[in-house]
Amino acid sequence: MPQRDPERRILIGLVILAAFGLRLGAAYWWESRLIEGQQFAWGDSWSYWTLAGQIARGEPYQYGYGQSRIFRTPGYPVLLAGLYLVAGKEPPVMWARVLGVVCGTLAVAAVMWLTRELFSTRAAIYAGVMAALYPGAIGMSVFVLSEAPFCPLMVLQLIFWIAASRSDCTTRAGKFGFLAGAIAGLATLVRPSWLLFTPFACCISIVCYGERRRQLLIAAALATGFVLAMAPWWVRNYGITGKLTLTTTQFGASLYDGWRPDANGESDMRYVDRFYREQVDADAAAPNTVSNTFEERLDNRMRTAAITWAQENPWRVVQLAGIKFLRVWSPWPNSTEMQSWSFRLAILLGYAPLIALSTAGAVRFARLGWPYAMCVVPAIYFTCLHMIFVGSIRYRQPAVLVMIALAAGFAESMRRSNDEKVGSSRTELTNDPA
């Protein structure tokens, strides 16, 4: 075995290099597909890019209706702002795609590390190949979206959480738990939908996987690291609103996107214009009753409308939950921009075998302990979340990336089983008197 270690290290390096090359090629290909004058395919990308420029130029951090100052968490814009500092006034958007390529490659490396912790180096190589080739992971590396930096942070949090749960020393468990919590905070500053994952996963670990005193210790360390990482953003928001705002003032808009009279499971934010005009009119009609910021009032108006509609239409809410579930786990893209047969076939062939292996791995390994079950929890979490908000295959990609570890572990177990059968057959033939 030792003599194979250098070979395996070379294989790991080659897998990571291949992951980078595939993503870089995809980034240039995607850039070439955009029509002249078009920088991004999604509005989200434009908001990140604009905020990054404001950070780099020292301008106020604000965007959207009423120049919201808590429109987006700052994690991804801060990362993009580094490009402005290097390039000057306006870096090419391709630089942002290359940054995503680097983040996507780091995510592949992190998946290999996670798989090595759970299984073996061979399984880690399997996982690296799967993650490098997975179309969803390649796409999230190419588009200027927050999933690119979020994915490596998410996997890194799980790695340190696993280290904490396996540590025999209470002090080490606390240190690893603290690091996992701090990384969870950074991941939330990049992707605010991650906010509730850590308490959600802690509840599962405490209820379902025993050693409650130890699990509570790790949960406390996680919470401490998380709070310290999020504190600067919370303090800044308190200075603006006078109260604690955990992530952004876009919860109401996101909720109404999922619960509204014409909802069909996909995002359509055109209604925000109407709510904006209504709020402006309401403020003008009763100026003496205004007591908080405009963005808070707008957020509260959309949140109230969404909850009111949901209470009046409970059966439709249930129907939409099922529709969104199917959209999240669809074998082909829902977006109208990606309905060509080449896109559909690539995503289907990359997704179906991988999800089958991942599911088999989850069934086999999740019962073995919390470190293995942890690889399934992001899928459960994101599914529940987007059965409330809107559904898209975009939102499953981080979860699938984590489940690749289980897919690789299952593939390795199948290989070992076949090797044992072959070895047993050879032994029988050797011992046959005939």
DSSP state letters, 358-386: HHHHHHHHGGG-HHHHTTTHHHHHHHHHH
Q: Which residues pair with 63 in a beta bridge?
A: 68
Q: What are the backbone dihedrals phi and psi of residue 354, each rounded to the nearest 5 degrees, phi first?
A: -70, -45
Q: pTM for the complete prediction?
A: 0.93
* Residue 434, pLDDT score: 46
* Domain spans in the chain, listed from the N-terminal domain onward: 2-428
Please provide the distance, in angstroms rounded to a whole number, between the alpha carbons at the two ends of the chain.
Answer: 35
Name every residue whose Cβ is closer than 8 Å to that of residue 266 and which is 6 or more positions away in sequence.
Answer: 327, 334, 390, 391, 392
Spatial distance between the Cα atoms of 61 and 51, rounded to a whole number of angstroms: 6
Spatial distance between the Cα atoms of 160 and 167, rounded to a whole number of angstroms: 10
Q: How far is CA 286 from the centre of its chain?
A: 42
Please, what's the b/e burial string for 72-98 (b: 16 or more CB within 10 A of its CB; e: otherwise)?
A: bbbbbbbbbbebbeeeeeebebebbbb
pLDDT along the chain (434 residues), means of 10: 69 96 95 82 88 93 87 96 86 94 98 97 96 95 95 98 93 96 98 97 90 91 98 96 93 96 93 94 84 91 97 97 96 72 83 95 93 96 97 95 97 82 55 53
Residue type, 198: T
Q: 27 with 97: CB under 8 angstroms?
A: yes
* Residue 427, pLDDT score: 54
Q: 241 with 197: CB under 8 angstroms?
A: no
Q: 105 with 19: CB under 8 angstroms?
A: yes
Q: Which residues pair with 68 in a beta bridge?
A: 63
Residue type, 35: I
